[in-house]
Chains A and B, each alone.
Chain A
Amino acid sequence: MGSNSLYGPLDPALDAGYTDAPPRMGFFTDTSVCIGCKACEVACKTWNAVPDDGFDLLGQSYDNTGGLTANSWRHVAFIEQPRSSSGAATDTPGAFAGLPVGPSSVPATNVVAARSAPDTGTSPGIPPAVDALAAAATAGTEFIGAAPSPGATGGCGSGDTSGGCACGGGSSRGGASAAGSSGGCGSGAGASEGCACAGGSSHGGASGVGASGAGAIGVGASGSGEFLGMPMTDLPGRVNEAPRSDFRWLMMSNVCKHCTHAGCLDVCPTGALFRTEFGTVVVQDDICNGCGYCISGCPYGVIDRREDDGRAWKCTLCYDRIGDGLEPACAKACPTESIQFGELDELRERAARRLETLQSQGVAEARLYGNDPSDGVGGDGAFFLLLDEPEVYGLPPDPHVPTRDVVAMWKRAGLAALTMAATAVVAFAGRRK
């Protein structure tokens, strides 16, 4: 019998009463080779007869699924970023360097996309952002927070009111080399002012957009404040006005994490959610009564309820397939082996090697997510190699299973109950008719 631990490293199958359990199985999703083809989504749906999630154009780059729902057990996230990795192995630095471009549209399009509300046929499904502005931050650090730290996004940041601008010669990458290049900088004094650039073949912010119409039908120069005719006015004040140069397109196939300590499973009152002998977490559709507790129990926002049938659904890690020695449908279909299925221990070793390789190639942002058995959920059965912060992909940066504190919670509840009882006794004390 296992330790029935609620937290920390653990063999979950053993803990769940499988005395003779096979090795724990899981996914390692290596986003550095994901091509965003969505074969995983389709293969999963085909095998598991998952309904469609609606036909909504979301404007989230090429992501029209929106997220994991009861009707999408794999979800490919697409993130367009006007920046480059530190290493050249995973993206194309300077993709637009030297072209007559203005600033990035990513913050503005993100804001628009964040407001789209798909009808996924599930509940809660994919709610629109309550704070669309926050969506702009997906773009990366240039668009958020305080003035860029020196050397990071560089350029000649003009300080506190409207953020910096940077321009450089033809091949400068972003603004990074601007200070040393021939490009001059104006100081953006106000939000509607851009900056001027001299030299190189790049285009400055202020003149950039309007001037690009040269030779075509002339349209007046539009200041960055009204950029795109889109709700740029909504945007955080500190939008990088530098002409875009670097670009990368992150893609990542998200899935249920099959946590070692699974919030959904722990809180399920019917036992519909259960731990399999492979250490995976599965909802039993013949048991689930749709109480919805699991939905709030999941620190990753994975599990969801179908509106038409009232039950909760999520990735089963193809329990029926792996029971027969097959690999899950998504991993089998994945053309580039971005999704790898196997024994978790082996996958963790493989992932460590892959991380080492990438880092030796200079991809400093590469990091593993969910592979650490000492994290808040005891490690994920499905873990990832990411190229940016987890939250950029819609993953919580440091999740913990709510049940971690359930003993303390019961204790507090017990204390409160005692207080309540005592109060009642006191209230009635000394009164007897």
Chain B
Amino acid sequence: MGVKTWIEGWPVYRQLTGADPLGRGAAAQSPKSKALTARTETADRVAKSVCPYCAVGCGQRIFVKDEKVVQIEGDPDSPISRGRLCPKGSASLSLVTSDRRQQKVLYRRPYGKDWEELDLDTAMEMIADRVLAARDATWQDSDDDGRPLNRTLGISSLGGATLDNEENYLIKKLFTAIGAIQIENQARI
């Protein structure tokens, strides 16, 4: 950096030579301030999404930079929400990016006093084992009069109101196929 640049970078110099003699505006602006730009403008892409909290269904835009979500805000195009979000919707960015989010599978063994980490694939195999075992142990082919039951009452499930339709569809389809009928969600609550 030349002396000239350095001097010109000194706000006092700009005060003396520019239109801001009192040093309250243009002269005092730092290079960083001058270069500021909204991170939504520099995002790599924008995903059109929907708020995950209540059922109003406000439109959201999710801004992604370097494969990280950098901002979530209202989608002005939405005829439902017109770009607006409530405090919960406005907190969506921290919902997604919070470091309090669990990112590891955790396992508590019977009578255990604490969590242990578990590999995802192992966990999936273990859960499949348990589903099949519970199903076999509690399977009901038919009632006393020979009417078909085709089911297990040994497995329950609760949840779905926060999930996608496609997910609920697969959940219901799979559980129905294995004969698990005790499938419920918030709509009952």
Q: Is B159 an interface residue (CB 8 A)?
A: no
Q: Is B49 an interface residue (CB 8 A)?
A: no
The answer to whether B26 touches A37, judged by C-beta atoms less than 8 angstroms apart, is no
Q: Is B109 an interface residue (CB 8 A)?
A: no
The answer to whether B87 touches A41, judged by C-beta atoms less than 8 angstroms apart, is yes
Q: Is A249 an interface residue (CB 8 A)?
A: no
Q: Specify the chain A residue showing the minimal Cβ separation from B12.
A: A271
Q: Specify the chain B residue showing the minimal Cβ separation from A334.
A: B84
Bound-state Cα–Cα, A46 to B27, Å: 30
Q: Is B157 an interface residue (CB 8 A)?
A: no
Bound-state Cα–Cα, A329 to B18, Å: 33
Known: A17-B19, A43-B85, A43-B90. A332 touches B74 (CB 8 A): yes
Q: Specify the chain B residue showing the minimal Cβ separation from A1.
A: B19
Bound-state Cα–Cα, A274 to B83, Å: 31
Q: Is A265 an interface residue (CB 8 A)?
A: yes
Select one of A2, A43, A277, A323 contacting B38, CB under 8 A: A323
Residues of A close to B87: CB separation below 8 A = 37-39, 41-43
Interface string of A256-270 (1 = CB under 8 A from B): 000000000110000
The answer to whether B37 touches A16, judged by C-beta atoms less than 8 angstroms apart, is no
Q: Specify the chain A residue showing the minimal Cβ separation from B84.
A: A335
Select one of B26, B30, B71, B85 contacting A286, CB under 8 A: B30
The answer to whether B73 touches A332, judged by C-beta atoms less than 8 angstroms apart, is yes
Q: Specify the chain B residue showing the minimal Cβ separation from A266.
A: B24
Interface size class of A (residues with CB under 8 A): 35 or more
Bound-state Cα–Cα, A318 to B37, Å: 10
The answer to whether B84 touches A39, judged by C-beta atoms less than 8 angstroms apart, is yes
The answer to whether A271 touches B11, judged by C-beta atoms less than 8 angstroms apart, is yes
Select one of A274, A284, A320 contacting B24, CB under 8 A: A274
Bound-state Cα–Cα, A16 to B15, Å: 10
Q: Is A321 an interface residue (CB 8 A)?
A: yes
In the assembled complex, the CB of A259 is this many whole angstroms from the nearest CB of chain B, namely: 12
Select one of A4, A284, A324 contacting B37, CB under 8 A: A324
Q: Is B120 an interface residue (CB 8 A)?
A: no
Bound-state Cα–Cα, A19 to B88, Å: 42
The answer to whether A19 touches B33, judged by C-beta atoms less than 8 angstroms apart, is no
Residues of B close to A1: CB separation below 8 A = 19, 21
In the assembled complex, the CB of B38 is this many whole angstroms from the nearest CB of chain A, namely: 4
Query: Which residues of chain B from 1 to 47 have a CB within 8 Å of any chain A CB?
Result: 11, 18-30, 32-33, 36-41
Q: Is A228 an interface residue (CB 8 A)?
A: no
Select one of A38, A271, A335 contacting B27, CB under 8 A: A271
Bound-state Cα–Cα, A272 to B33, Å: 10
Bound-state Cα–Cα, A155 to B88, Å: 45
Residues of B close to A286: CB separation below 8 A = 30, 32-33
Residues of A close to B26: CB separation below 8 A = 16-18, 277
The answer to whether A271 touches B23, judged by C-beta atoms less than 8 angstroms apart, is yes
Q: Is B89 an interface residue (CB 8 A)?
A: yes
Residues of B close to A324: CB separation below 8 A = 37-38, 40-41
Select one of B41, B73, B81 contacting A329, CB under 8 A: B73
Select one of B21, B25, B32 contacting A13, CB under 8 A: B25
Q: Specify the chain A residue showing the minimal Cβ separation from B73.
A: A332
Q: Is A343 an interface residue (CB 8 A)?
A: no
Q: Is B86 an interface residue (CB 8 A)?
A: yes
Bound-state Cα–Cα, A335 to B40, Å: 21
Question: Residues on A close to B: CB < 8 A?
Answer: 1-2, 4, 12-13, 15-19, 37-39, 41-43, 46-47, 265-266, 271-277, 282, 284, 286-287, 318-321, 323-324, 326, 329, 332-335
**Known pairs A15-B24, A333-B84 / 10 extra A-B pairs, C-beta < 8 Å:** A1-B21, A38-B87, A39-B89, A271-B11, A275-B24, A282-B33, A287-B30, A319-B33, A321-B38, A332-B83
Closest 9 CB pairs of A and B: A16-B25, A17-B20, A271-B28, A17-B26, A17-B19, A275-B25, A42-B90, A274-B28, A43-B90
Between A and B, 16 residue pairs with Cβ closer than 8 Å are A1-B19, A1-B21, A18-B26, A19-B19, A39-B90, A46-B94, A47-B71, A271-B11, A276-B25, A286-B30, A286-B33, A323-B36, A324-B38, A326-B41, A332-B73, A333-B84
